Structure 1
Amino acid sequence: MHTDTERCVRAVRSKDARFDGWFYTAVLTTGIYCRPSCPVVPPKPENMTFLPSAAACQQAGFRACKRCRPDAAPGSPEWNRRADLTARAMRLIADGVVDREGVPGLAARLGYSTRQIERELLAELGAGPLALARAQRAQTARLLIETTALPMAEIAFAAGFASIRTFNDTVREVYALTPGELRARAPGPGTGRGAGGALTLRLPFRTPFTPDNVFGHLAATAVPGVEEWRDGAYRRTLRLPHGHGIAALTPAPGHIACRLTLTDLRDLPVAISRCRRLLDLDADPAAVDGQLRTDPVLAPLVDKAPGRRVPRTVDEAEFAVRAVLGQQVSTAAARTHAARLVTAHGDPVDDPEGGLTHLFPVPEALADVDPATLAMPRTRRATLTTLVRHLADGTLTLGVDSDWPATRARLLALPGFGPWTADVIALRALGDPDAFLPTDLGVRRAAQALGLPSTPAALTARADRWRPWRAYAVQYLWATDDHPINVLPV
């Protein structure tokens, strides 16, 4: 995108927010970089250059605009649309892998050399993994400086900086303000950590955004003790690198209100990244809906409620277990099975503000479960125990860095895994935007009602015109049914 100068200039002149996060405008005369929708008068085209990431702008010596706050834009939808090396690396960086394991850890997870990772990221993003992670730390620091009254030393630690000096230097370099000056400019007084040590944040997204199906799905399938819908918010426990947390997510005009309670502030960037991924907030609804509208059958559904997102997950292994528990049973039965596992094998947590009691059990804890204690058919017991054994010993890995086609093939090779189970994991856990569920009963029923083919093979062939957004087409098809997953809870 950033190499198409004419298109970028048009986007800047029209202040088109759809392109926020796709590219950044660096102004040569001022040394400032902005998002395309910046409200200031656009500079002359000859004074603009376009870069693919905030990190690249910072590397080139530009500082962030104080008006449009370009580093706070929604993430580029490219990284959740693709499964190549760069996209998988970007998802891992957002999940904090570089801060925890360094560039060698990132390279090891991806199966490439550090030199190859550096080369690929520099070629596409204009910055290497360390610079990209640094830009993320700077944004986290700014978020905490402006929205809390936490001491600066605690903010530096939470944002992942190794020292106060590095924190001060980075903030000054990126924002042309000291941390104290940033806080003084904030629109309101910081609140610090509220009741129970909670932090309140805003998660931006690209419009349009129809929250009904994503929040309806999460609430309707919520596992008691791990998830709940309370006071207009979806709440759930989070297993994080340095401890655990609780997230409360509420749809609001123009943003998602996010309330995080963390046992260790170092987990803040990871918690934010996982909440964004859960709600699919970095999606590009203009591209998705534009493609789906080309089909006259889907066009009325898209026009009725544009901007539907795919409900995803904060823990890929957890969702895989839940997908097996949900094989050929009702939503209520799947919740009951999962709740039993949680009560027996999950780690307990305290939740003074609600009814959450446990973290979902890790595969290692479930690998020791006696299959005879599982109240389900023998074949599904075997499927579940096989899955958790492979997850526990590392022969099967599910994560933001998964190669979508290869992982789906490995899932299908496991006993008891048919197309529906593999595809729903690809759709919700792996994040494949083109995953499709032609064998799903709700999809087939919707297809039949709309006059589409209802057999899996014929429907798959008909759905070819929806590529590469078939996962979103599933959301529009599901929404035709009168089911709690399609209704925003009250």
Structure 2
Amino acid sequence: MSSAADGSAVIDPEVAYRAASGRDPRFDGRFFLGVTTTGIYCRPSCPARKPLRRNAVFFPSAAAAVAAGFRACKRCRPDSLPGSRHWDASGDLAARAVRAIRDGAIDELGVAGLARRLSVSERHLHRILISEVGASPVQLNRTRRAQTARTLIEQTSLGLADIAFAAGFGSVRQFNDVMLGEYGVAPSALRRPATRAATPDDAPASDAAPTIVLRLRHRAPYDDGAMRAFQRAHAIPGMDLIGADGAFTTPVPATHGPALATVDWAASGDEHLTVRIRPADIADLTGIVAKLRRWLDLDADPQLIADALGHDPVIGPLIAARPGLRTPGSLDGPTTAMLTVVGQAVSLKAAGVFASRLVGTFGAPVGESGLRAFPTAQTVADAGAEALREIGLTGSRAAALHRLAGALAGGLELSPAADRAEARRELLALPGIGPWTADYIALRALGDPDSFAPDDLVLKKSLGAKTARQASVIAAAWSPWRSYAAMHLWTASAYLP
């Protein structure tokens, strides 16, 4: 999707149809699908069967669909979305709220805090979610907790009481009632005999909490080689640890303090990744798992992306050679944004040196692991630009990092729940942050599947484009999956941004 000079939405029907075919909720609010044979309009993620291409028309807003004579679908209720065309174009409130709840926002902030983050009243948030998805924020969070609890019951030997609190329930009685309501059986009936807890020999030692071993499922194929290469290229000495078998350990920000998470590539399978998690508090586990899934892009549908891009003369051969390639996400939006600024206009090796000094100087120890967490935005903002220069950053980059940290500490939202267009505007308003940085942050920290950095030198060279405008024109054919197209071009060039 793009915008015309007057700010109105411009919809490419072929792009919109590809997005709607995958029912990906990341596109809700960007456009609406009308079905000419039924006279009904829907959200892109509507579970109803998608019409043939010749019977599909697209609108920038619910109001435009109604004006054209279409009625709202009773299954996905597109008429309940916030009414502004500009609001709809920048991201649907309900979809942003669901993504935030999935990532643990209610456990961290409560319903009132989530409403403040989304800049709406608690009552309005409740009304929108009831209308849009048929459940209140509390009900959605309860289902999320039940799903986490079932995973822990089936894959670990933790006691049921420990699982109840790890999943976020306030009491064992509440846990039992919810699990019975969600699955129709008592929690103990879900236990598999083979479950056991494992404590790895190669993980950093700590007595803070037991290690939880989980199998995080994903759709096959999954290009683990590319993800492992990305982790190696971006590992920060002092913060990340790569084991002899390639297992990757890194801190994960959490409410009660950073956890240590290890991706055990050797123990992973075709349809799951094995992770070992040592949280500071077991109550943080649900949110940690959500962050890991986003970081490793475990919820993507590789077949859907291959169907959309596989016939393209440029990207198609790359998909055939690297099926299941994912876009690395982010464990923490502010951290990813600050690291992106640190690495501007320098090599990956140099960026790693600067990041390691930043962690060593300002990062806090993670238990007794010997590793340190990346400093918070508030810590970096309080340090001042002059202190940042002492780690080797140029004056301009230190100033840019300091301004970004101040904006983040002041409320700049960089997460999948953020309004992507607004976040990009706020980033570009900061001196020292240009379009490439904003686009790359959108791809990783905001989880935008359609972000593309036309200013990137490698992308322009791969496409034979002399200017960013030329690269944008070529990449338009890959929407709404331009993030994945960019990753294919980067990896094909043996370069990981």
What is the identity percentage for the equivalent residue pairs of Structure 1 and Structure 2? 40
| CA shift for structure 1 position 476 | 0.8
| CA shift for structure 1 position 287 | 2.3
Partner of 2:397: 380
Any conservation in 2 of the 1:150–1:193 contact (CA below 8 Å)?
no
| CA shift for structure 1 position 437 | 1.2
Partner of 2:419: 403
Give the SS at the match of 1:438: coil
2:137 to 109, 113, 129: 129
1:238 to 249, 252, 262: 252
Partner of 1:91: 99
| CA shift for structure 1 position 101 | 3.0
Whole-angstrom distance in 1 between the partners of 2:197 and 2:349? 40
Any conservation in 1 of the 2:96–2:418 contact (CA below 8 Å)?
yes
Alignment of 1:60-459 (within 5 A): 83-183=91-191, 186-191=192-197, 197-230=210-243, 231-251=245-265, 252=268, 253-350=270-367, 352=369, 357-373=371-387, 374=389, 375-394=392-411, 396-448=412-464, 453-459=465-471
Matched, 1:479 2:487: no
Whole-angstrom distance in 2 between the partners of 1:293 and 1:405? 28
Read off the aligned partner of 2:219 and give its amino acid letter. R
| CA shift for structure 1 position 325 | 0.6
Moved more, 327-336 or 241-250: 241-250
| CA shift for structure 1 position 105 | 1.9
Whole-angstrom distance in 2 between the partners of 1:193 and 1:83? 42
Decide whether aligned partners of structure 1 residues 446 and 250 sit closer, same or farther in structure 2, where only a CA change above 3 A counts. farther
Any conservation in 1 of the 2:90–2:420 contact (CA below 8 Å)?
no
Any conservation in 2 of the 1:219–1:228 contact (CA below 8 Å)?
no
Kindly tell me the number of residue pairs found equivalent between the two proteins. 405
Decide whether aligned partners of structure 1 residues 470 and 378 sit closer, same or farther in structure 2, where only a CA change above 3 A counts. same
Whole-angstrom distance in 2 between the partners of 1:194 and 1:469? 38
Decide whether aligned partners of structure 1 residues 117 and 371 sit closer, same or farther in structure 2, where only a CA change above 3 A counts. closer
Any conservation in 1 of the 2:329–2:445 contact (CA below 8 Å)?
yes
Give the SS at the match of 1:414: coil
Whole-angstrom distance in 2 between the partners of 1:219 and 1:51? 45
| CA shift for structure 1 position 380 | 1.1
Q: TM-score, normalised by structure 2?
A: 0.76
Read off the aligned partner of 1:214 and give its amino acid letter. M
Decide whether aligned partners of structure 1 residues 203 and 82 sit closer, same or farther in structure 2, where only a CA change above 3 A counts. farther
Runs (5+) with no aligned partner, structure 2:
1-16, 24-44, 49-73, 77-88
Any conservation in 1 of the 2:337–2:441 contact (CA below 8 Å)?
yes
Give the SS at the match of 2:253: strand
Partner of 2:4: none
| CA shift for structure 1 position 305 | 1.3
| CA shift for structure 1 position 323 | 0.7
Any conservation in 2 of the 1:149–1:189 contact (CA below 8 Å)?
yes
| CA shift for structure 1 position 229 | 2.3
Relative CO higher for 1 or 2, CA cutoff 8 Å, sep ≥ 6?
A: 1
Q: TM-score, normalised by structure 1?
A: 0.77
Any conservation in 2 of the 1:433–1:471 contact (CA below 8 Å)?
yes
Give the SS at the match of 2:145: helix
Read off the aligned partner of 2:473 and give its amino acid letter. A
Read off the aligned partner of 1:223 and give its amino acid letter. I
Whole-angstrom distance in 2 between the partners of 1:309 and 1:382? 33
Give the SS at the match of 2:383: coil
| CA shift for structure 1 position 194 | 6.8
| CA shift for structure 1 position 316 | 0.6
Any conservation in 2 of the 1:213–1:308 contact (CA below 8 Å)?
yes
Partner of 1:18: none
Read off the aligned partner of 2:261 and give its amino acid letter. A
Whole-angstrom distance in 1 between the partners of 2:225 and 2:486? 14
Any conservation in 2 of the 1:150–1:192 contact (CA below 8 Å)?
no
Structure 1, residues 211-266: CA drift from partner, whole Å, max 9, x if none?
Answer: 22223112211111222322222210112012221111134221111110111011
Any conservation in 2 of the 1:148–1:193 contact (CA below 8 Å)?
no
What root-mean-square deviation, in Å, do the aligned CA atoms of Structure 1 and Structure 2 show?
2.6
Whole-angstrom distance in 1 between the partners of 2:147 and 2:453? 37
| CA shift for structure 1 position 98 | 1.8
